[in-house]
Amino acid sequence: MAEVEIRAVSKAFKKTQAISDLSLTVADGEFVALLGPTGAGKTTTLRLIAGLEMPDRGSIRIGGRDVTGDAPADRDVAFVFQQYSLYPHLTVFENMAFALRAPIRRVPEVEIRAKVREVARLLHIETKLDNKATQLSGGQMQRVAIGRALVRSPAIYLMDEPLSSLDAKLRGEMRLELKRIQTDLGATILYVTHDQTEAMTMASRIGVIEGGRLLQIGTPREIYENPINAHVAARLGQPAINLLPASLFASVPRGAMTVGARTEHLTIARSGGDVQATVKRIEHLGDQSHLHLDLGGQPVVTLSDPEAKLGAGDIVSLRLNKPLFFDADGGRVAA
Amino acid sequence: MAQIKVEALDKSFADFHAVKAASFTVEDGEFLCLLGPSGCGKTTTLRMIAGLELPTAGTIRLDGEDVTMNRASARDIAFVFQLFALYPHMNVRRNIGFPLKCEGIGAAESDRRVVEAARILRISHLLDRPVSGLAGGDRQRVALGRAIVRKPKCFLMDEPLGALDTEMREAMIHELRALHDRLGATTVYVTHDQLEAMAMADMIAVMNNGVVEQVASPRDIYDRPASLFVADFIGSPPMNFLPFRGNLQAGAQAIRLGESDVVIPAAREGLPESDLVLGVRPEHVRFADRGVVRGEVYGSEYLGTTQIVTVTTRYGALKARSPASMSFRIGENVGLDFRPDTLSIFERTSGRAIRTVLHEGGAHG
């Protein structure tokens, strides 16, 4: 494992600027998630580190060595793709051992066997080693694909939405497993996703990326509690943060045009708050209920206290409790 | 608008029994989701309602009329597919108006309805644009527009949001439900995504292996699951299951779990000693030093307002939803308690939920 550093990298595809002046360091043993929508430049960043694309400007260093001009094979990285492409005619064992058996690596057979078994155990597929890769369920196949990367000990694992093809339940289980494995192995991982839950639950740090630019990087808690602008604030949190015109509230800091209020910033009572709102409906999503309010024509969605006996048409009183403030351009304003 | 009544519907493809005695009613103006994993028979059921498949047995009634053997075109329904097949050489206006042209409706009337549909879907500004350059959400709105211009008795939708990415899907969920509230059209919607079903449906029919396991409101499905399958399929993370062996007397208010008594909603039926399962939702697990189950913290997942804490116990890994402000150490020894009035008990072999005060409160027995 090693530190990976991207310095001021830019990359354009014809007229499209995919990455603009992006700098990012993934420390040894760290799990960094790049979070952003489709087209934000997440996958391009991974491909630049892997050497599958060449940057127009800037440099990439792995373990202190400049690898910007190196071929992918000389970079010591392992890539896990969204679509697992296993060799259908080989067994699970052979699929996982494949990379270790490459002639340039010259890994002794005994070592290969030991390594594959160890990784298979971590991924709970040790009983499937002799199965054909095609006789597995989707979740098992994705684990083999991850396993194929884990048997190597590269400088960094680059993972491109590896869980997105799994169903919701399996994805939930794999999140916890992957995080455990990363901690146990002390692996360095750069993981890209558009799923905020994956980023929040697994990453040591999240980099929020949009339009080829890194907007903010920090621990999940920092990004969630202390976003630098309204855009980042809206990327994390379910239900999404309510961005409300500051004019609805009596006292806001100078320059604040927008008030950002999450569930934990809102106290709902029958009376005595700062502003009044009308209950439009309560959406029961099972584990959570979303309370939909109308606040002076603005929709507000917050988690509803299951014990609160509220119904459509009820008038409630809202009090702001240390919310976030943003200026006209969406930048944070100190409270 | 119409009521759809499905009675003892059966469908076999050669040796494969795809749908087994499915029965449910969709009331006039109601939004029903057929929910289940892939291969459970939900799409086959929808296609039979549409008339795209003929059932092996059973009947389908539309507003009381038996339409089981009617052609699809004679049923006055509109189908919206997962993959929105728009005509690439036509603009938005002509795509939406196409079904009316096929029905031979005059240009003036057709144009009026297309404009109306576009207004409802908020795509009026796109009417003269080619469909090829549209974003995914707008393409799906055009596909919906093509369904609503016909003013059918009901809408059948097969995973219409499946091809969209997460954010667009969340926005479309609310749009679709708002559209339903405006049009009031009877809708049957197929999905494997429980969040879509929970957020949109008036009623959910959960299917598994061709069988409708439960038909109830989203809230009842979640709070009072009729079977282990339903309890496991709904909820993220799903319900925790603690297997135990014991008997149950009618009226019992606690079960014996290991060395502890666990208070449950009073049982309404008795059972001889058998393999049972206690079901607890993650948000009903509380940390308590003197809790009924002990275990070791395996990991925690930060979600902003809340976190999911996984605890390894003698009953397997249990998940608890806690405020994000609580802090846990991996390996820490903790005790867990369960909120008594929310617990479910199942028969392990049949998967059936045992009748209790909680389960009697719902729409089913």
Q: Where are the domains of chain B?
A: 4-223, 228-360
Q: What is the pLDDT of residue B84?
A: 65
Q: Do A169 and B321 touch (CB under 8 A)?
A: no
Same domain, A159 and A295: no
CATH of domain B4-223: 3.40.50.300
The pLDDT confidence band at residue B361, using thresholds 50, 70 and 90, is low
Same domain, A224 and A275: no
Pick the last residue of a domain from A235, A254, A282.
A235
In angstroms, the first-to-last Cα distance of chain B is 30
Mean pLDDT confidence for A27-56: 93
**Which residues of chain A have a CB within 8 Å of the CB of B305?**
237-238, 262-264, 303
Gap from B322 CA to chain A (nearest CA, Å):
12
* pLDDT one-digit tens code per residue, B206-254: 999 999 999 999 999 999 999 999 999 998 889 999 999 999 999 999 9
Q: How many CB atoms lie within 10 A of CB A39?
A: 14
Same domain, A228 and A299: no
The pLDDT confidence band at residue B29, using thresholds 50, 70 and 90, is very high
> What's the mean pLDDT when you consider all of chain A?
90
* pLDDT one-digit tens code per residue, A3-30: 999 999 999 998 889 999 999 999 999 9
- For an interface test with A, the pick among B35, B175, B308 (most A C-beta atoms closer than 10 Å) comes out as B308
Same domain, A227 and A282: no
3-state SS record for chain A: CCCEEEEEEEEEECCEEEEEEEEEEECCCCEEEEECCCCCCHHHHHHHHHCCCCCCEEEEEECCEECCCCCHHHCCEEEECCCCCCCCCCEHHHHHHCCCCCCCCCCCHHHHHHHHHHHHHHCCCHHHCCCEHHHCCHHHHHHHHHHHHHCCCCCEEEEECCCCCCCHHHHHHHHHHHHHHHHHHCCCEEEEECCHHHHHHHCCEEEEEECCEEEEEECHHHHHHCCCEHHHHHHCCCCCCEEEEHHHCCCCCCCCCEEEECHHHEEEECCCCCEEEEEEEEEECCCCEEEEEEECCEEEEEECCCCCCCCCCCEEEEEECCCEEECCCCEEECC
pLDDT of residue B362 exceeding 80, the answer is: no
Same domain, A154 and A192: yes
Same domain, A200 and A321: no
* pLDDT one-digit tens code per residue, A60-96: 999 999 999 999 989 989 998 877 778 888 999 999 9
**Which residues of chain B have a CB within 8 Å of the CB of A285?**
195, 198-199, 218
Q: Which residues of A touch B (CB under 8 A)?
A: 37-38, 167-169, 172, 175-176, 179-180, 194-195, 197, 200-202, 220-221, 224, 236-238, 262-264, 283-287, 303
Same domain, A183 and A247: no
Which domain does A77 fall in, by range? 4-235
Same domain, A246 and A184: no
- Count of domains for chain A: 2
pLDDT of residue A137 exceeding 80, the answer is: no
Same domain, A121 and A269: no
**CATH number for position A122:** 3.40.50.300
CB pairs under 8 A between A and B: 74
Q: What is the pLDDT of residue B176?
A: 85
* pLDDT one-digit tens code per residue, A236-277: 998 899 999 999 998 889 999 999 999 999 988 888 888 999
Q: What is the pLDDT of residue B82?
A: 66
Pick the last residue of a domain from A235, A268, A294.
A235
Mean pLDDT confidence for B315-339: 93
**CATH number for position A255:** 2.40.50.140
Pick the last residue of a domain from A215, A235, A255.
A235
**Which residues of chain B have a CB within 8 Å of the CB of A284?**
198, 218-219, 222
Query: What ipTM does this complex have?
Result: 0.74
* pLDDT one-digit tens code per residue, B145-160: 888 888 888 899 988 8
Same domain, A210 and A283: no
Chosen CATH of B228-360 out of 1.20.20.10, 2.40.50.140, 3.40.190.10, 3.40.50.720: 2.40.50.140
Same domain, A30 and A176: yes
Q: Residue B43 and residue B40: Cα distance in Å, rounded?
A: 8
Helix (H, G, I), strand (E, B) or coil at B338: strand
Question: Residue holding tokens 């607890």?
Answer: B280
Q: What is the pLDDT of residue B83?
A: 61
Same domain, A194 and A81: yes
Q: Residue A237 and residue B306: Cα distance in Å, rounded?
A: 10
